[in-house]
Structure 1
Amino acid sequence: MHNPSHIGDTICAIATASGEGAIGIIRVSGPETIEILKQLFVPRHGRPLEQWKSHVMHLGRIENPDSMTIVDEAMLMVMHAPHTYTREDMAEIHCHGSPLVLHHVLELLVQRGAVLAEPGEFTQRAFLNGRIDLVQAEAIMDIIRSRTSGGLDAALHQLEGKLSQPITQIRDNLVHLLAHIEAGIDFVEEDITFVTSEERVNGIRASITALQALIDTAEEGRILRDGLVTAIIGRPNVGKSSLLNALTQSDRAIVTPLPGTTRDVLEEYLNIRGIPLKLLDTAGIRHSRDVIEQEGVRRTYRALEQAEFILVVLDGSTRLEEQDREILQQVQGKQYLVVLNKIDLGTQISVDELRKQHANALVVSISATTGTGLEDLKDAVKKAVLHTTRQSDDQVIVTQVRHKNALCKARDALELVLGSIENQQPGECLALDLRAAVDALGEIVGVTTTDDILGQIFSEFCIGK
């Protein structure tokens, strides 16, 4: 548990982002919510807070009861348990978005008995009180942190329970099978067959297939959630910086006709067809006696090693040079896409020859200057990096490494169960591995989860959520 000392306490936190704003919101949750706010909030209509209807905003003012001074004019909404985010009594105070005002109100709440919430403590209470499972709790943080529509959609599907449902169904099937196996162990002398060997095998194989289908989506999910480090490489003056500027629609990189203009690695985050890319614009690769340019080339090679995806930029208006061939050779074995730039100046490189020489490499012709082919490039990037196994965009995907590891652990345990059945091992051996699979799936949704795991998950949340 994230902080056992807060159980039973009434917690409070600023829920809006730091800095000035039109409105600032403070959340309160816990058994003393109404009693604490009765001491601070003076409603304009004069009705006591305990008579308010749930989920209705009321205008009034926050007062310091010690000095009898007005802190701010505010709106207050009281929400009665269990129909709240945490399933506890809750309230939201909508003040003016001054950091000074918000912190003053927060201090008054603490003086009256509330405690400052830790990161993710509101969502942790929602989980502990059974409103959401652990997958849905993690999805809330992914929604807050999402940088692209693809990542947001994946998180929303998980919040709706579309990942929890199949995992829970698989786990329920395994629990049912485990119960029959353990009953067979307990009543071994009664000569009763609770489940046949064929039923065991078929049930376990079906579960393995379902688990593998989820595991197969994990790489796509990781990309949508965390993004992809993408290096733009090529020899000098092929238009790498122009490509970065065209994709970001800005003058992020300096562009001149002089080779070697880019001396360092520039970083820029970009959303391409719902995929978050961390673009690295690198110095042109060539032999140089310039010490600064040599350092730039060295950093380019380091970026090349770190990159998960590579855009190899060639000048399509000239014939391939030896440096181009060397670069193409260096990216073999990596995930890459060839960008044939400057086609507005004519084409001197054969796309078919490139594909023949480099294992049917994906090649896109563009002009970074005029914008020709940029939409085709974006489509090609999505095709190259998302080897989707989904039948539709609505199909759930696994985005968390924690989930993938637990799914793999469950699958491997079930493979051991199959091996035990084939080797005619006693029921105790089957039950042991089957229980391991059940526990691994329980860790995902939070049925069987240690305090350490909960602490790690909720510590990544922002305060006030």
Structure 2
Amino acid sequence: MLYNEDTITAISTPHGNGGIGIIRLSGERAFEISEGIFQGKKDFDKVKTHTINYGKIIDSSTGEVLDEVLISKMCKPNTFTREDVVEINCHGGTVVLKNILELILKKGARLAEPGEFTKRAFLNGRIDLSQAEAVIDLINAKTNESSKAAVDQLEGKLSVKLKEARSKLIELIAHIEVTVDYPEHDIEEITGQKIYTEIKDIKEKLSSIIEGFEKGRIIREGINAVIVGRPNVGKSSLLNELTGKSRAIVTDIPGTTRDIIEDYINLNGVPVRIIDTAGIRETEDVVEKIGVEKTHKEVDSADLIIMMIDADQGVNQEDIDILNKIKEKKAIIILNKIDMVSEDKILDIENKLGNKNVIRMSLKEDVGTADLGNAVVELFMKGEVSINNEVLITNIRHKNLIDKAIESIDFAIGAHESGMPLDMITIDIVNSAQYLGEITGESVSEDVMHEIFSRFCLGK
């Protein structure tokens, strides 16, 4: 049954002025409402489906022309929501979009909730829940690889694998129920061994899917990288170099950076939230002291620490204190300003640092920044960012549910090995199928759906 109790509308383009703005309608009255506001060479009811037509949006109550537009008419079920859909392409001014949206609402449409178009696509069977979640991942993708991972999920690569496993579990449940219901055939031992073998096979397949979770999570969410070091070692210069912007003020005066400065970058295919921090040192300056405290908090929550050391000044006690603080963290040490010192001094500093991951760098001479990208990929992705043909789990909700499905299978395996009857094993197999169904939406609660779609933007 289609979820088309009413007709929804929203602006589907970002807020602000632009060349084009798009307003979308979906639902039973989408065509009726459009017919009442659109005037073109053809009457709206004569317009063919899946075509774009030029005309004007007119407020019939005043006769006022609101804008010249291109309007797309799409008949159900061959639409994103599997409902009648209209998209109005107008000029992208804030006032124009607002006026047209208000006219549509006045004609009887309702303002869509965040993600409601995608929610209807799910409820009407156009996509499953994991594919719906991929839509927001695609919108938020920060690199080519995160975009590709989202597209793969949107196309259903993950869904196919999970539905195969769930279907197999349901088939096994049916076998067990037949055996329990007809004990006179005395086939419980054969069925038990079959169940045992096949749930172990399903477990292996699910385990192989979640093996790539950490890689998938990083491709989707990126990593939090914090640049730390003593004042005036080049932290702000590094941030400016990596972002290609003058995000941070750079001077020769120690303590220039007083607060946290952050930006997002694509580092060799890995999305990175890079954070420049106040230099870590003992200080009596009240403002700088607050900045140093913030730096310590960022270090505690970071995925990666990029520590910078001034090659000209060498390693001192403040550097050693920082190294001790970050010793449990994934870290890359940058020896900056190597253009100012001899090779012997560089080797002496590297010896003092021991076997740590050290990159020689001169931001002035543009040396070493490419090595930083390579080191990040090696540290977090084992040298390989590309997805190839992998089916990657990128969503922590999916990962947790697959973990629970595997845990239930482990319980079933343990029950069989301890000689429990088949009907007791069924409980755990049912639970496993239930968890997989929560990923694809075949067995998901209304609360979970609401939580997922509330993270979407308006108009999608």
Q: What TM bracket, shorter-length normalisation?
A: over 0.9
The answer to whether structure 1 residue 257 and structure 2 residue 252 are counterparts is yes
Match of 2:381 in 1: 386
Match of 1:147 in 2: 142
The answer to whether structure 1 residue 40 and structure 2 residue 40 are counterparts is no
Residues 94-135 of structure 1 deviation map (CA, whole Å, 9 limit, x = unaligned): 122222222222222222222221111111111111111111
Instruction: In structure 1, list runs of 5 or more residues that go unmatched.
Output: none
Q: Distance in 2 between matches of 1:38 and 1:271?
A: 46
Q: Distance in 1 between matches of 2:384 and 2:405?
A: 20
Q: Distance in 2 between matches of 1:14 and 1:295?
A: 42
Amino acid at match of 1:384: L
Q: Distance in 2 between matches of 1:17 and 1:364?
A: 41
Amino acid at match of 1:26: I
Residue in structure 2 matching 1:17, options 11, 14, 17: 14
TM-score (norm 1): 0.92
The alpha-carbon deviation at position 83 of structure 1 amounts to 0.8
Identify the range of structure 1 (450-459 vs 106-115) with the bigger mean alpha-carbon deviation.
106-115
The alpha-carbon deviation at position 289 of structure 1 amounts to 3.7
Compared CA separation, residues 409 and 225, structure 1 to 2 (3 A): same
Match of 1:413 in 2: 408
TM-score (norm 2): 0.93
The alpha-carbon deviation at position 352 of structure 1 amounts to 6.0
Residue in structure 1 matching 2:301, options 306, 316, 333: 306
* 8 A contact 1:220–1:388 mirrored in 2: no
Compared CA separation, residues 225 and 390, structure 1 to 2 (3 A): closer
Residue in structure 2 matching 1:209, options 196, 204, 209: 204
Query: For 1:426-465, what aligned pairs fall within 5 Å after superposition?
Result: 426-465=421-460
The alpha-carbon deviation at position 387 of structure 1 amounts to 4.6
Q: Distance in 1 between matches of 2:152 and 2:125?
A: 19
Local SS of the residue matching 1:39: helix
* 8 A contact 1:246–1:369 mirrored in 2: no
Amino acid at match of 2:18: G
Residue in structure 2 matching 1:374, options 369, 374, 380: 369
Root mean square deviation, CA, Å? 2.2
Residue in structure 2 matching 1:116, options 101, 105, 111: 111
Identity %: 41
Residue in structure 1 matching 2:167, options 172, 179, 202: 172
The alpha-carbon deviation at position 390 of structure 1 amounts to 9.0
Compared CA separation, residues 16 and 187, structure 1 to 2 (3 A): same
Match of 2:336 in 1: 341
Q: Distance in 1 between matches of 2:421 and 2:455?
A: 44
Match of 1:60 in 2: 55
Residues 325-371 of structure 1 deviation map (CA, whole Å, 9 limit, x = unaligned): 2222221111111112112223423376356x3xx432221112221
Q: Distance in 2 between matches of 1:50 and 1:40?
A: 12
The alpha-carbon deviation at position 28 of structure 1 amounts to 1.1
Match of 1:223 in 2: 218
Q: Distance in 1 between matches of 2:23 and 2:383?
A: 42
* 8 A contact 1:229–1:309 mirrored in 2: yes
Residue in structure 1 matching 2:92, options 97, 102, 105: 97
Q: Distance in 2 between matches of 1:391 and 1:328?
A: 32
Q: Distance in 1 between matches of 2:155 and 2:239?
A: 37
* 8 A contact 2:142–2:271 mirrored in 1: yes
* 8 A contact 1:74–1:94 mirrored in 2: yes
The answer to whether structure 1 residue 280 and structure 2 residue 275 are counterparts is yes
